[in-house]
């Protein structure tokens, strides 16, 4: 745990040391996305929140996994004395925490806008709760998928597109099932969690292989 | 009795259908410094990656301190010092935070790191940066980053060191500092593998030199632990009797060219006076005797011509 938290701290401090423009972009993203529920309450639909999770986690996965390989520091990290598990799960934990944290910030801001607009939002808590659960499950899946693809692929540019396609496919299947057999929203959460576990398994497997240091095409 | 710390036996590494290393075997004794040279693309970095467990051999066996590198043992990596092509630092963190991270990885207490920096890096920018935090690593020059990487590699004085082009971008002082640190590591029993195209680095530090050529490692040079060459040259008359005397004493074949005998000798302190005495007694005129100047570049060229 000490080594995982050391990797987590490294990533966090690295993020804090980013250029100011990076923070400005995240602020704009959170601010603009928080207005979406004003149109249809917090039940703006799972697609919006899942799409948001794709953007956030895909970006962090690219930064955390790909840039490390790109500048060659992954080799050093893997031979430094940290176990591969500590490096991998430390990075995954950082991306998940950041993505979920930003998503929750967006949810909180959405509540503020709803309060200011004077709309009754107490009744929307239940939907907000399920949407937040969906967002978290979607984020974990995107993190796991992003981690796997970032090791597996030579070209990291297509990671967000593939995660987006996967998310869209899962949501489309869910809506198909919901239409045919009235599948509840929590079944989507469970399905996303299962896909997350599968992606995480493959990502960890790849991380223990040679591909983790393969060259990257930009 | 010397102990082999690094053992490579009939190692094979392929990338797809292309073999980069084939049936490669060698070993490195404990406490010795092994220089690895070879053409660009010969597979030096691949060999180092195999020894570090970053790549998996397709066949053969590798052992470093008894560990199989591909098993990725935490204990193995804690006893290995590494400086590769890239420094491996997080650009957004300062020098102190970066070194603190690797101290956690190596299981070295920060107080020990501070004492190490104070003792061995005093007078360098690193000493000041670790005291005050310093700039973010991304704002350091390339040479400074290389020095940070070397500082990390020697941190905790590991048992085995793998250096891939460690002196690239180093200024004169930093180069001398690296040589001093390498000697200190060796004094503490460290074993090293240094891959470099800077032959001066290899000549200055290495006890043995191997050339990676045609997918295999060939020995090109071996020197005594004090750095002097075991090859001697004796400018003297030619006679088959003299040859017999030299070969009897040195226990190795002697060659004669350009007016000089050349031979390999294990123990110069005892054997050279005996050779001189016996040759003089046999009527040989000796003009000059001494260890051969180590011409690594010439030996590498000769190797390429012969293979």
Q: Does B101 touch chain A (CB under 8 A)?
A: yes
The residue-averaged pLDDT of B207-223 equals 82
Residue length, chain B? 307
Q: What is the pLDDT of residues B71-104, one digit of tens each?
A: 898 999 999 999 998 888 888 888 898 999 999 9
Q: How confident is the model at residue B222 (pLDDT cuts 50, 70, 90)?
A: low
So what's the ipTM on this one? 0.82
Looking at chain A from residue 198 to 217, which residues have their Cβ under 8 Å from any Cβ of chain B? Answer: 208-210, 213
Q: Please tell me the predicted confidence (pLDDT) of residue A125.
A: 62
What is the mean pLDDT of the segment spanning B148-177? Answer: 93
Check residue B116 and give its pLDDT. 93
Q: Give first-to-last CA distance, chain B, whole Å.
A: 33
The arithmetic mean of pLDDT across residues B51-73, rounded, is 92
Which pLDDT does position A126 carry in this prediction?
Answer: 62
Q: What is the pLDDT of residue B298?
A: 78
Cβ-defined contact of B102 to A13 (cutoff 8 Å): no
**Closest-CA residue of chain A to B50:** A210
Contact B93 A72 (CB under 8 A): no
Among the listed residues A151, A137, A43, A47, the one whose alpha carbon sits nearest the alpha carbon of residue A91:
A151
* Common-topology check for domains B31-53+70-222 and B231-291: no
List the single residue in B with minimal CA-CA distance to A2: B104
What is residue B227's predicted lDDT score, i.e. its pLDDT? Answer: 52
Which residues of chain A have a CB within 8 Å of the CB of B54? 75, 78-79, 210, 213
Mean pLDDT on B159-182: 92
Of B74, B90, B97, the CB nearest to A81: B74
- Least confidently predicted of A39-43, B93-97, B242-246: A39-43
B192 touches chain A (CB under 8 A): no
Average pLDDT of span B53-61: 93
Taking 70 as the threshold, does the pLDDT of residue A35 lie above it? Answer: yes
What angle separates helix A84-116 from helix A185-207, to the nearest 10 degrees?
A: 150
Cβ–Cβ below 8 Å for A83 and B92: no
Q: Is A119 helix (H, G, I), strand (E, B) or coil?
A: coil
User: Which pLDDT band, with edges at 50, 70 and 90, does B63 fall under?
Assistant: very high
- Residues of chain A neighbouring B93 (CB-CB closer than 8 A): 10, 13-14, 17
The answer to whether B3 contacts chain A (CB < 8 Å) is: no
Q: Is the pLDDT of residue A117 over 90?
A: no
Mean pLDDT, chain A, rounded, equals: 82
How high does pLDDT run on average in chain B? 88
Query: Under a CB-based contact definition with an 8 Å cutoff, are residues B202 and B220 in contact?
Result: no
- What is the mean pLDDT of the segment spanning B120-140? 83
Q: How far apart are CA B95 and CA B101, in angstroms?
A: 10
Q: By percentage, how much of chain B surpasses pLDDT 70?
A: 95
Task: Search chain B and give the residue with CA nearest A213.
Answer: B54
Cβ-Cβ pairs closer than 8 A, A with B, add up to 85
Q: Largest Cα–Cα distance in chain A?
A: 57
Confidence of residue A42 (pLDDT cuts 50, 70, 90): very low
- What is the secondary structure of chain B as a DSSP string? ---EEEEEEEEEEEETTEEEEEEEEEEEETT-EEEEEE-TTSSHHHHHHHHTTSS--SEEEEEETTB-GGG--HHHHHTEEEE-SS----TTSBHHHHHHHHHHHHT--HHHHHHHHHHHSTTSHHHHHHHH--SBGGGS-HHHHHHHHHHHHHTT--SEEEEESTTTT--HHHHHHHHHHHHHHHHTT-EEEEE-S-HHHHHHH-SEEEEEETTEEEEEEE--TTS--SEEEEEE---HHHHHHHHHHHSS-EEEETTEEEEE-S-HHHHHHHHHHHHHHTT--EEEEEEPP--HHHHHHHHHHH-
CATH number of B231-291: 3.30.70
Whether residue A81 has pLDDT greater than 60 = yes
Most confident of A113-122, A140-149, B56-65: B56-65
Task: Tell the CATH topology of B31-53+70-222.
Answer: Rossmann fold (3.40.50)
Q: pLDDT exceeding 90 applies to what percent of chain B?
A: 48
Q: What are the φ/ψ torsions at residue B62 (nearest 5 degrees)?
A: -125, 140
What are the boundaries of each domain within chain B?
31-53+70-222, 231-291
Give A 83-102 residues with CB within 8 A of chain B: 83-84
A192 or B49, greater pLDDT = B49
A78 interfacial to chain B (CB closer than 8 Å): yes
Query: Measured between CA atoms, how close is A149 to chain B, in angstroms?
Result: 19
Looking at residue A62, its pLDDT comes to 77
Of the listed ranges A4-13, A111-120, A142-151, the least confidently predicted one is: A111-120
Residue A149 or A47, more confident: A149
Region A144-173: mean pLDDT is 84
d(CA B154, CA B184): 10
pLDDT at B70 over 50: yes
Q: Is the pLDDT of residue B302 over 90?
A: no
Task: Give the strand order in the sheet containing B80-83.
Answer: B80-83, B160-164, B191-195, B33-38, B208-213, B216-222
Statement: residue B172 has pLDDT above 60? yes
């Amino acid at each position: 745990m000490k080594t995982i938290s050391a990797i987590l701290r490294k990533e966090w401090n690295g993020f804090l040391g980013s250029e100011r423009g990076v923070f400005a972009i995240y602020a704009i993203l959170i601010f603009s996305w928080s207005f979406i529920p004003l149109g249809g309450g917090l039940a703006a639909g799972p697609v919006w929140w899942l799409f948001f999770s794709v953007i956030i986690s895909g970006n962090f996965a690219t930064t955390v996994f790909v840039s490390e390989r790109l500048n060659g520091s992954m080799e050093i990290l893997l031979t430094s004395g940290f176990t591969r598990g500590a490096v991998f799960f430390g990075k995954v934990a950082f991306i998940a925490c950041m993505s979920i944290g930003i998503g929750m910030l967006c949810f909180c801001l959405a509540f503020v806008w709803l309060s200011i607009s004077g709309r009754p939002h107490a009744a929307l808590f239940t939907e907000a709760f399920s949407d937040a659960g969906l967002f978290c499950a979607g984020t974990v899946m995107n993190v796991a998928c992003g981690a796997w693809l970032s090791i597996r692929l030579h070209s990291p540019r297509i990671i967000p597109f593939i995660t987006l396609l996967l998310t869209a496919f899962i949501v489309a299947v869910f809506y198909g099932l919901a239409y045919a057999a009235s599948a509840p929203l929590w079944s989507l959460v469970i399905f996303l969690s299962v896909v997350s576990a599968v992606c995480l398994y493959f990502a960890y497997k790849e991380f223990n292989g040679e591909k983790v240091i393969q060259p990257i095409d930009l | 009795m010397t102990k082999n710390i690094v053992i490579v036996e009939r190692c094979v590494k392929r990338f797809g259908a292309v073999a980069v290393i084939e049936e490669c075997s060698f070993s490195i004794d404990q406490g010795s410094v092994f220089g690895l040279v070879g053409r660009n693309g010969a597979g030096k970095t691949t060999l180092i990656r195999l020894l570090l467990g970053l790549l998996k051999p397709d066949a053969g066996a590798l052992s470093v301190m008894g560990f199989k590198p591909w098993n990725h043992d935490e204990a193995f990596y804690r006893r290995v010092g590494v400086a590769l092509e890239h420094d491996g630092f997080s650009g957004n963190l300062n020098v102190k935070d970066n070194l603190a991270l690797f101290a956690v990885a190596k299981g070295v207490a920060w107080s020990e790191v501070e004492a190490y920096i104070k003792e061995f890096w005093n007078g360098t920018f690193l000493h000041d940066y670790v005291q005050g935090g310093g700039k973010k690593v991304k704002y350091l020059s390339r040479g400074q980053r290389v020095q940070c990487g070397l500082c990390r590699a020697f941190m905790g004085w590991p048992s085995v060191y793998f250096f891939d082009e460690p002196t690239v971008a180093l200024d004169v002082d930093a180069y001398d500092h690296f040589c001093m640190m390498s000697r200190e590591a060796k004094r503490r029993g460290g074993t090293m593998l240094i891959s470099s195209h800077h032959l001066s680095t290899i000549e200055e530090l290495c006890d043995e030199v191997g050339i990676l050529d045609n997918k295999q490692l060939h020995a090109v040079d071996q020197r005594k632990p004090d750095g002097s060459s075991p090859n001697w040259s004796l400018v003297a008359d030619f006679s088959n009797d003299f040859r017999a005397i030299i070969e009897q004493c040195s226990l190795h074949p002697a060659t004669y060219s350009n007016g000089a005998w050349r031979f390999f000798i294990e123990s110069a302190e005892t054997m050279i006076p005996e050779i001189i005495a016996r040759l003089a007694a046999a009527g040989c005129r000796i003009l000059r005797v001494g260890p051969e100047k180590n011409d690594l570049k010439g030996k590498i060229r000769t190797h390429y011509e012969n293979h």
